[in-house]
Chain A
C-alpha cells in the first residue's frame, strides 16, 4: 500500500540574507507515514517538526531530498483537496464560524448544499454547532483552535496534518478531539499529529517518531517503544535490603526493580533466600521518559551542573 506521507532524505537549512550562518532545521530526514495510522510526531521546540510539516504542505522548499504526500510531490495543489491541515497558532479571518468554514471548503472546490452540510458537520464534530453564527474574532483561543480543526475537516480529508491541535484546549475538549481522531483513523483516514502533549500521543498514536535537532532519533510502534526496556517492580519481605541492587526499604518491605526479562530469576532468588513475594508489578515506561532519554544530553563525568 502507498504511504500517505513520505519524506526521503529531506534537508532544510535557513540562511540569513546577509549572514553566512546556516541553521540546519532538518538533516537527512526520512520517514514514511502509512495509510490509516495515527502517527505522533514528537520533538522539543526547534527540533524541526513544524518545518517538516510546512515542507509537506508546500509552504517552503527543501534544501535537499524529496517527499510525497498521497502519492504526489510535496506542494502539489490538487492533492491538497484530499488533505486537512491545522497550523500551530491558528490564524483565521474574522467572520462567522459557519461562513469561515464554508469559505475554506469552497477554496477546496466544494459547492452548494454539500458544502453547507459538511461545514455544519465539521463544526458539530468540534463542538461548535451552537457557536456557528458567532464571529470568530470574538472566540477564545481554544474555540479558535476548534474552528481551525473544523476547517481542516470540512473537505473530509484522507490525510489530516495537525500541528499542536490540542495545545489550547481544556481537558473536555481534548478528550473530544482525541475521540474524533480515533474515529477518523477507524474510518480509514491517516493522521499526522505533531504534539507536545505526550500523554495524548501515547493514548491515540499507533506509531511515534521523535525528532531532535533536525534528525529522527527514535521511530517505532508506540506499544513497542513503551515495552522496550520495561521493568518489573518486586516487593518482598524476609530478605536483606543489600541482597538486590538498587533495593530500598518501603513500608517494611524490600522493593527493587529488574528488567522484565530477569523477573523469573529475581523471584527465584527471593525464594532461595527464604523470602516471601508481596507483589510483582510491571512498570511501563511513559512516552515522556523515552522523550527525555532521546532529547536530553547525556550527563558526563565532571559536569559542573551535577
Chain B
C-alpha cells in the first residue's frame, strides 16, 4: 500500500501547477461571492461551470499520466524498484482521485460559503462534491485505461466517446443505459442542480462509479502488464 500512496502523492506533486490553475477558478467563485453576494443565479452558474472543469481535467490527468512518465523515462526508475505495474496504476488512479478531492474540497468550502448565504443547502453542496469526485475518478480511470495503449490525444477522445455513449443510448434506446457508465449522470447532477429542485440522492450511480473504477483499473492493469514500457512513445 505504501508504494501506491507514494506514487499517488508524487503524481499530485508533479501535477501541482495544473491543480493550482484549476483552483484559480474556485477563487473566481469566491471573488464573485464577495463582490456580488446576492446574485443567486450567477453564483450557482459559476459553481456548476467550475465543477464541470474538474471532470474534463481528470480525463486529461488520467490520459496523459503514463505517457508523460514514459516520455520522460522517469517511469524506469520507479518500476525498477519493488513496485508492480498494478501498484503503479493504483498509484495513478489514487493520484487522479486525490487531485480531484483537493479541487472539490476547495470548491465545496467556497460553495458552502457562497451558496449557503443565498439559500443553497450545505449538505447538498457536499453531496454534489461527492458526485464530482466519483465522476472524476471514474473518468480518470477510463482515460488511464486507454492511455495504456494510446497516446493522450486518442486516449482522451476514446474516453469522451465511452462517457458520451451511455447518455446517447439513453436517449435513443432506453433511459436504463444512462447509468451504464455513470459519469454523465453524476456530472449532470451538479450541472442540473438548482435552488428549486435539489439533486436527487444518486447512491446507485455513486456505487456503480466505484465498482466501474475498480473494473477499469483491473482492465488497465491487465493491459499495462504486457506493455513494453521502455519502448519510446514518441
With A77-B83, A109-B82 as known contacts, state yes or no: A93 contacts B10, CB within 8 Å: yes
Interface centre among A50, A80, A104, A107 (most CB of B within 10 A): A107
Say which one of B24-32, B116-124, B164-172, B222-230 lies at the interface with A.
B222-230
Query: Are A78 and B77 touching (Cβ within 8 A)?
Result: no
Write the A100-117 contact mask toward B (1 if CB under 8 angstroms, else 0).
Answer: 000110111100000000
**Partner among A60, A90, A93, A107 whose Cβ is within 8 Å of the Cβ of B231:** A60
Task: Decide: A54 and B226 in contact? CB cutoff 8 A.
Answer: no
Q: How far is the CA of A91 from the CA of B13 in the complex (A)?
A: 16
Q: Could you tell me the distance in whole angstroms from the C-beta of B172 to the nearest C-beta in chain A? A: 34
List A contacts of B77 (CB < 8 A): 85, 87, 90-92, 104, 148, 151
Do residues B226 and A61 form an inter-chain contact, with CB atoms below 8 A?
A: yes
B14 cross-chain contacts in A, Cβ below 8 A: 93
Question: CB-defined interface of B1-12 with A at 8 Å, one 1/0 digit per residue?
Answer: 011001100100
Within 8 A of B (CB), among A37-59: 50, 54, 57-59
Kindly state whether residue A81 has any CB partner on chain B within 8 Å: yes
A83 partner residues in chain B, CB cutoff 8 A = 80
- Looking at the complex, which of B59-67, B68-76, B125-133, B140-148 is the stretch in contact with chain A? B68-76
Given contacts A93-B14, A152-B80, 12 further A-B contacts (CB under 8 A): A60-B228, A77-B84, A81-B81, A85-B77, A85-B80, A93-B10, A93-B13, A93-B74, A106-B2, A107-B81, A109-B2, A151-B77
Q: B203 CB to closest chain A CB, in angstroms?
A: 37
Q: How far is the CB of A67 from chain B (nearest CB, A)?
A: 15
Q: Is the CB of A87 within 8 A of B76?
A: yes
Residue contact A103 to B10, C-beta cutoff 8 Å: yes
Q: Which residue of the partner chain A has the closest CB to B79?
A: A59
Q: Are B82 and A81 in contact (CB under 8 A)?
A: yes
Distance from B25 Cβ to chain A, minimum over Cβ atoms (Å): 26
B82 touches A77 (CB 8 A): yes
Q: Which residues of B sit under 8 angstroms from A89, Cβ to Cβ?
A: 73
Q: How far is the CB of A99 from chain B (nearest CB, A)?
A: 10
Q: How far is the CA of A57 from the CA of B77 in the complex (A)?
A: 10
Minimum C-beta distance from B37 to chain A (A): 42
Chain B residues closer than 8 Å to A61, beta-carbon distance: 226, 228
Contact of A271 with B by CB under 8 A: no
Contacting B at CB under 8 A, from A70-98, are 77-78, 80-81, 83, 85, 87, 89-93, 95
In the assembled complex, 30 residue pairs joining A and B whose CB atoms fall closer than 8 Å, in A order, are A57-B76, A58-B79, A59-B230, A60-B229, A61-B226, A77-B82, A77-B84, A78-B82, A80-B81, A80-B83, A81-B81, A85-B77, A87-B73, A87-B76, A87-B77, A89-B73, A90-B77, A91-B76, A92-B74, A93-B14, A93-B74, A104-B78, A104-B81, A107-B3, A107-B7, A107-B78, A107-B81, A107-B82, A108-B82, A151-B77
Contacting pair A107 B6 (CB below 8 A) = yes
In the assembly, what is the distance between CA of A72 and CA of B111, in Å? 54
Task: Determine the distance from Cα of A14 to Cα of B74 in the docked complex, in whole angstroms.
Answer: 22
How far is it, in angstroms, between the C-alpha of A108 and the C-alpha of B14 when the chains are bound? 20
Complex CA distance for A106 and B10, rounded to whole angstroms: 12
Which chain B positions have C-beta within 8 A of A152? 80
Name which residue of chain B comes closest to A161, CB basis. B80
CA distance A155 to B82 in the complex (A): 10
Out of B6, B73, B228, which one reaches A103, CB within 8 Å?
B6
In the assembled complex, which residues on chain A have CB atoms less than 8 Å from the CB atom of B72? 91
Interchain CA distance A87-B69 in the complex, whole Å: 14
Taking a contact as CB atoms under 8 Å apart, the answer to whether A60 and B74 are in contact is no
Can you list the 5 inter-chain pairs with the closest CB atoms, starting with the nearest? Answer: A85-B80, A60-B228, A107-B81, A59-B230, A81-B82
Q: Do the beta carbons of A14 and B231 come within 8 Å of each other?
A: yes
Structural contact, B76 and A107, CB atoms closer than 8 A: no
Closest residue of chain B to A100 (Cβ to Cβ) is B77
Chain A residues whose C-beta falls within 8 Å of the C-beta of B79 in the assembled complex: 57-59
Residues A107 and B83 in contact in the complex (CB < 8 Å), given A14-B231, A59-B230 = yes
Q: How far in angstroms is the closest Cβ of chain A from B115? A: 38
Q: Within 8 Å CB of B229, what residues of A? A: 59-60
Q: Which residues of B contact A80 (CB under 8 A)?
A: 80-83
B78 CB contacts on chain A under 8 angstroms: 104, 107
B80 contacts which of A57, A60, A93, A103 (Cβ < 8 Å)? A57
Q: Within 8 Å CB of B81, what residues of A?
A: 80-81, 104, 107-108, 155
A50 and B77 CA atoms in complex are apart in Å by: 14
In the complex the two chains form, what is the Cα distance from A93 to B79 in whole Å?
14
Chain A residues with CB under 8 Å of B83's CB are 77, 80, 107
Interface residues of A in 95-154 (CB under 8 A from B): 95, 103-104, 106-109, 148, 151-152
